[in-house]
Structure 1
Amino acid sequence: MVPIMPDQPNELILTESRTMRAQTVTRVDVLDKVKALSLLPDNVHATTEIVASYYEVDTEVIKKAVQRHREELASNGLRVIRGDELRDFKRSTEGQSVPLSERINALTLFTRRTILNVGQLLAESDVARQVRTYLLEVEELASPDVRSQAVEAVELSESRMRVLKLAQGIVDASWLETKARVLLAKALGEEPEVDPLDVPLYVPDFLKGLGLKRKQIESVQSWFGRRAVTICDELNIDAPEKRQSDLPNGTVRETKAWTERHRPVFELTWARHYAADFPTQTTLPSIPSQREAGAL
Structure 2
Amino acid sequence: MTRTRSIIRGVGSYLPEKVLTNADLEKIVDTSDEWIQQRVGIKQRYIAAEGQFTSDLAVGAARQALDDAGLTPDDIDLIVVATTTPDYTFPAAATLVQMKLGMHHGMAFDIQAVCSGFVYAVATADSYMKNGLGNRALVIGAETFSRLLDWTDRSTCVLFGDGAGAVVMEKVELGDDEPDRGVLSNALRSDGHHWDKLYVDGGPSSTGTTGHVHMQGPEVFRHAVGKITDVVYAALEQAGYTTDDLDWFVPHQANRRIIDGAGAKLGLPPEKVVITVDRHANTSAASVPLALSAAVADGRIKRGDLVMLEAMGGGFTWGASLIRW
TM-score by length of 1: 0.25
In terms of fraction of residues, the more helix-rich structure is 1
Which of the two has higher C-alpha Rg? 1
TM-score by length of 2: 0.24
